[in-house]
Structures are given as structure tokens and as C-alpha cells.
A and B are shown apart, each in its own frame.
Chain A
């Protein structure tokens, strides 16, 4: 009895630092966001007025916010699908097939992930340059005449952002899937081969089901991080107002002196990402297969 009591105390003591830090730096600010969304004030002004749900009412009718959320959703959907498709395919090729320079490819794919967004914006600025940019030069070469696609202008701007985001994200998820794929025992593939299953069947019947838990978890990660990454990319790469996403709307409102209103946008985005993750989690639920 005595020992269990003191063990309990020990555990509380060990957990206390993390819990207190988490409470002070995560829970409190989050609650404060919810509180601030009910007020109106400038970011630097000492006075605030209570406006109730007014901020949310205006927000729902604000065309700029609606466009921003549409862009966010478009980016989440397309970037997720493309990234996951390529990440899984590349991971399968690099783990299952015998290719020369496997490690080389693994590193090459992974590098974009360790670059800062500012550097990526610089790289893509050279790629998307209208005159003598890399992409336009390649297209011109293939077509045999000068092609002048304005990548960072309407209507291509969102495509440019998607390409950059996919390029940045593939490597990280590829490495994750490679790790879980190499945990699938070789004997399973051998017996499947003996049963006459081809490469594709093996991939869909064995590899995919066995790494499903991993895919599910990363999917949730990815959706939440895309909301944030989309903001960073749009901010660093394109002109304001060209392809605004939810978080850029939020910051723009803060800069315009509408702190409460921007917090209301923050609340909506918070709930949106929360619900979306829950939805994805629910949709992708399968019976867990054991090896």
C-alpha cells in the first residue's frame, strides 16, 4: 500500500513538468483564442469590447474568407492525394525492387524536407520564372517554340503551389512507408508468389493492407500539417490575394487591426482541422491485420 502510494506520487512528479508546460503553453493559449474570438480589439490596443458571436456571423458572409477556405480545401485534397500516391509507389519500388542506387534516391527524395520554406520558395522562383525559367525552358524545348506560362499568375498559381508542396512532402512520407514496408516479412511475398500472385496483386493484397495503420496515422498528420504548410508556401511564394488560404486570411485580419476577427477565423480553422482529422480517421478505419 505504502509503496503504491509513493509510486503514484513519483509518477505525478514525473508527469508534472510536461503537463504543466503543456497546459501553460498549449491549453491556455488555445482557450484564449476561443475567448478572443468573442471580442473586438486591435492587436496592440489595451481596450477590448465584447461582441459575442458577431465575428462569426460576419465571417460566414465574408467572400474573402470563403475563397480562402476553398483554396485550403483544394490544397488539402489535391496535395494529399498526389503526395500519398507517389510516396507509396516510390516506397514500394525502392523497397521491393532491386534498383541501383537505392540509397541515392532515398536521399534525393528526402532532401526537400530538410530545406526551409524560404529556400524552397527561392528554388521554385527560379523554376517558375516566366522568362528563361526552368519549367518554361523545358516546355519550350519540348514544344519547339517559346512557351510562356505565367506560373505564379492566375489561373496557374494554385497549381504552382501544389507542385511545390508535393515536391517538399513526398520524401518524408516515402521514408516512413519504406520503414514499415521493410517490416513486412519476405516469406509472405514468397508464398504469395508461389500461389501465383503477380507484383501488383502482391502490392494491393499484401503491402497495402499490412501498412494500413501507418497510412492512417500519417494521413491525419499530413492533413493538419498541410493547413500550416499551405500558408507558409503561399506566403513565401505568391503575391498576396492571388491564392490566399485560411491562415493567410487570419494573419491579414490581424495586420488590418482586427485581432478578434482573426481569432474567430482561427477558431473556425481549428475546428475544421479537428473535424477533418476525425472524419479521415473514421473513414479509413479497417480491421487491423497482424503479420
Chain B
């Protein structure tokens, strides 16, 4: 009897453990979605898609903060349109929420998460060729409309290196929210002092000297964190050498860093470091970066690279009298072109997504008028014609930058296979700027490091 009892106990224990371990897997199978509105179900024979529940993982960025519930509203609209139910995961630290289960092989169907994040989750999927092709999505008719997806997306947006990462003309990542980036400044201060916004780097240095002489606390430049150079570096490369040079540099072409254009890029960047407010690196971390943005509001720095979201981010911060946000493309370098980087967020489908077809439908639906209107409430603008017409206030000004003669630089550094010892683009190209400002890294060492890293990246290019 005792033996039997102990056996029973051990069995119960093992079973409870097994149940513990298997939880993740069995969950997806047993969870029945709540019954949908029975009225619509009765009216027509439900297509097989109705039983499907897709999981959508979206980053809760500044847009979601500006209009909470934005993504849920889009998902609800999608369910109403197609009958496919959506389980939404929306979080500020999306990587931490979906990462562990993906390591266990449980993938969401659609992920809205841009490249260029510190955790580099999207980059890892690109490197592993783990993303589903979107070619058929582009030729799909948008659910509830009679237009094809490709006809709705502004030309050029599905041809960048951030949407077609392998350079083979195939789109893997859907272009979602875009935002013009440039140098942000206090337009009120410029009016008050009668300064004009510099259009060339020479004028920039001149202004920097003049401003610093007038007010020793006022420097030419600051940056929130080195992460923000992901828009600055491409813009400067484009402006220094034009589109051909730009594309070569982004693909780490042999000898590209020895050209005069690259030399100009290095010179300007290094000089800018000496014009940077010296307290910047001490605050250029995730904890204090708003203090660097505050330098602009307090008239302690004139320019910083940033994106349109900064206005909402600093909305409650104290500011100098007469403060007014302004945004300008980068001053012109060698080619004379003034460039504003077009920051683009992407939505994509993991290759191992369990419901590929429904996921593709969802991505197509993101470009419907209904979805665009909901996103626009959070000032999230997709590359769909007509969306910028309804913008108000600061945003209207920012998005009009391309109408005022600035050229748009798109895309980013090409994906390369990870090699032990070789850092990410951010570690190799952006983080050293802290060292240039605080003097722990000399310009010569920096240039040598960039060349060395670039050689390794070229050797491991994907696609």
C-alpha cells in the first residue's frame, strides 16, 4: 500500500512538472478564442479563416504613447473586416516579451519592430534569413478595399535596404511609419539673435564660434545618445559623396573609406566632436539622454540629431522663454545636397509564423484607409499618399522638409553575418563618437577602426 502511495506521489510530481514544461506549447492549441459577435457569424457562411487567431507583436513606441490603444484599434478593425482574430502583444520592451518564447520556437505571426534597436532583434532575423518574403503581399488587394498594396505605398519605399535587406530586389520588410530626421534646434533663439540656420558646414562652424563667444555655456552640438547617429551618419555620407558613394559606403565597398568624400566625412565628424557640449557623453546613456535633449531646450546647445518624436517626448520639460522647435536637414557637404534622413520602421513576418496567410492579410490591411487613419491619430505616418496633408503644428513643419528641397536618404548599413570579435554597426560606427568628444579616442585611431571593421563586414556580407 505504502509503495503504491509513494509511486502515486512521484507520478503526480513528475506529471505536474511535465505540465509545467509543456505549458508554452499546449497553450496555443487549447486556447479557444472568445466567440465573435454571433450576429455577423450567422449572416454568412464563415470562411475557414474565421477560426484562425494570429498573434501580432508590436512595439509600443512614442506613437502608441501619444494615442494609447492605437494598435488594439487596428487589430479590432482587422477582425471586423476579415473575421480573423488577433491576439495583440504590445510592449515597450517587446524584445524581452517575445524573445524567450521565440527562442523556444514559438513565433508571432506579425512583428512590428524596426531595425536599429539596441537589442537588434530584427537584424538577427535578417542575418539568419528568417523572414518571410512579402512579394505576394505587395500584389495583394487590401482587405475591404479594391486597391493593391503596392499601389498604395509611395514609390521608392519598397526599394530601400531596410525593406529589401539582401539587395536582390525582393521585399522582406514592410515599410511602416516614417519620420524625417535632421538637426533639431530652438527656432525661437535663432529669431531672437537674428541668426540664420546654416546651410553649409563652414557656416555651421562660424555660427558655433560666434555663439560660444557670446555665451560660454552655449555649444554648437549635442546628441541624446550615440544611437541617434544612425540617422546622422547616413545623411552626412549622402551629403558628402552623393548617392553612388552613399550606396558604396553602406555596402562597405573596398577602398570606400580612402576616398576624398570619406575623408570629408571623417573631418566633419571629428570637428563636430570638438564643437559638442562636453557634458554630452556623461549623459549619453539610456538613463539620462533626456538631459542632453534638455540642453537644446535650455539654450546650452544649438543642434541635435533627432526625430519628430522628440516634440512629444519633451512636451512636459521646462524650456527657455520663447522656445520653438525647428528642424533642418544637415548642412550641405561636398555635393551641396542638403539631406534629411528618412527614418523608417518595419513590420515583418517571421518565416516560421504559424499562420502565414492570415499574417500576410494583416500586413496588407495595415495599408487600408481605416488602419492609416487610426495610426495617424497617434501621428504615426505611413508612406501612403495624402497622409501628411492632415498634419498639424510642428509635425506639419517637419514632414514638409522634403517639399522644401531636402533630399531623402533612406536605408542603412547592409546586413552582414555575425563574426565573433566584430561589433554591430552601432558599436563600430556610432559608439566611438563618445570617445571623440571626451578625448579618449583620437581621430586617426577612429578612422583606422572604421576601416578595419568595414573590411570584416564586407567579407561577411549577406546576399
Contact = CB atoms under 8 A, between A and B. Distances in A.
Nearest to A258: B418
A59 interface: yes
B287 A151 contact: no
A152 B289 CA distance: 12
A46 B105 contact: yes
Contact of A44 (B2, B102, B281, B284): B102
A152 B17 contact: no
Interface string B1-45: 010001001100110010001000000000000000000000000
A58 B456 CA distance: 15
A236 B424 CA distance: 20
Given A125-B287, A150-B281, A257-B128, A62 B420 contact: yes
A254 to B, nearest CB: 9
Contact of A242 (B420, B421, B434): B434
B291 A129 contact: yes
B420 to A, nearest CB: 4
Interface residues of A, number: 49
Interface in A5-54: 6, 9, 13, 16-17, 20-21, 24, 42-47, 54
A122 interface: yes
A237 interface: yes
Contacts of A122: 287
Contacts of A256: 120, 418, 423-424, 427
Contact of B17 (A20, A125, A237, A253): A20
A138 interface: no
B420 A59 contact: yes
B10 A44 contact: no
A62 B225 contact: no
A241 interface: yes
B458 interface: no
Contacts of A190: none
Given A148-B279, A258-B418, A42 B287 contact: no
Given A59-B420, A122-B287, A150-B438, A13 B279 contact: no
A139 to B, nearest CB: 15
Given A150-B281, A239-B434, A9 B6 contact: yes
Given A45-B130, A64-B421, A240-B431, 14 more contacts: A6-B2, A42-B124, A42-B127, A42-B418, A45-B124, A46-B105, A46-B352, A59-B420, A153-B438, A154-B281, A154-B435, A237-B285, A240-B427, A257-B120
24 contacts: A13-B10, A20-B13, A20-B14, A24-B17, A24-B21, A43-B124, A44-B103, A45-B130, A54-B420, A55-B420, A58-B420, A59-B420, A62-B421, A129-B291, A148-B279, A154-B435, A239-B226, A239-B285, A239-B431, A241-B427, A241-B434, A255-B118, A256-B423, A256-B427
